[in-house]
Amino acid sequence: MKKLLKFALMAACAFAMTACSDDDNDKPVIDPVDPGVNVTGVYVLSQGNYYSALNGDLTFYNPATSDYTNGLFEAVNGRAFGGTANDIVAYGSKLYIANTDENVLEVADAQTAKSIKQISLSGARRIVADGGYIYVTSFYGNNVTKVDTTTLEIVGTVETGTYPEALAIQGGKLYVANSGYGSGNTVTKIDLANFTVDATLNVPVNPVDIYSVHDQLYLGCSGEYNDDWTYKVNPAIYALATDGTTTKLVEATASAAGLDDIYFFDNNYYKTELTFGRISAIDQSVKNLTFDKPVVYPCAIAANPQTGDIYITGYAEKDNGSGYYSADYNSPGTCYRFSADGMKLDQFPVGISAGRIVFLTK
């Protein structure tokens, strides 16, 4: 039997949660399908590897035909993203891609991936869209920037905590997770009406992801390390109240918001079992997910809002010798498509460190 050696936790996609008990399987989970949504395609954003000078790019996948195109952005534009393509949002007729160390917010046509404009933005990190604007965190500038999606001009900037990551919008407020590069413990609450800070909320350590689903906020925290790189606080997902009160729901290392659920997996290096699951946004119950095709080195997870199909990207496997294997952060990976009940439907190749999956809809 092969021995599996996972690389350091820092190298993996990090947002954490707790493995679910067998009792969780009996809890109700709502139907994650919206028949009014028409998904016309899937974009998978590959980050690349900045330190190995390996570029990220886009893969486009058509779930109706199983056709895919790798390296789409470079093929269309004659250049790739660089090695830190961290986030992508499809909004209106455009794609918005945040490139952290390239200090660029890339704007492209959603149908063709043809570049429309590059907006200089220090440490462009994570994106959320609402009301004709996109909001982008600056990982190095410690702020969030507001961009008009019609003029593609910056129209405002607000200071946040240090090393801000993901954002979510709920009730006229913008919530920004401040990671503090692993030591942060705040969420900045911004009033969108006047684009000023409304409050600073104290939360568990290292918040990196935040979602709003059915008027409930969810916070993904990457946990805290000891000096020997073991976990002092495991990564977890929390329900977040608007006053900053948190309730731990599950431990996990990566997550994504679905139509009615938060999907997650927990590949904590110090645990013996890799688990997948979803949290109901209706009653916050947790259900394990099982798949008939093992994904040993997962990178990202998402769910098609039209069909409920679950997409999981995975790293390639690297042979380190002497029977030890690990995720390969320098080679292209694979995206697996499963039905909502875990049956494998398809798979297709993607780029290096394929960390974001978005659905193009009409």
Are 158 and 202 spatial neighbours (Cβ–Cβ below 8 Å)?
no
Answer whether residue 26 shows pLDDT above 70.
no
Region 88-110 average pLDDT: 97
- pLDDT tens digits along 282-302: 999 999 999 999 999 999 999
Domain 3-361 CATH class label: mainly beta
The model's confidence at residue 7, banded by pLDDT at 50, 70 and 90, is: very low
pLDDT-above-90 percentage for the chain? 85
Q: What is the pLDDT of residue 32?
A: 61
pTM, full prediction: 0.91
- pLDDT tens digits along 134-159: 999 999 999 999 999 999 999 999 99
pLDDT-above-70 percentage for the chain? 91
d(CA 356, CA 350): 11
Q: What is the pLDDT of residue 107?
A: 98
Coarse DSSP helix, strand, coil percentages of the chain, rounded to the nearest 5 percent: 5, 50, 45
User: How many other CB atoms are there within 10 angstroms of residue 252's CB atom?
Assistant: 33
The model's confidence at residue 237, banded by pLDDT at 50, 70 and 90, is: very high
- pLDDT tens digits along 179-190: 999 999 999 999
Take residue 355 and report the two structure tokens written for it: 């960390």
Are 304 and 323 spatial neighbours (Cβ–Cβ below 8 Å)?
no
Domain ranges for the chain:
3-361
Q: What is the pLDDT of residue 15?
A: 33
Are 26 and 332 spatial neighbours (Cβ–Cβ below 8 Å)?
no
d(CA 73, CA 59): 8
Take residue 48 and report the two structure tokens written for it: 């690349």
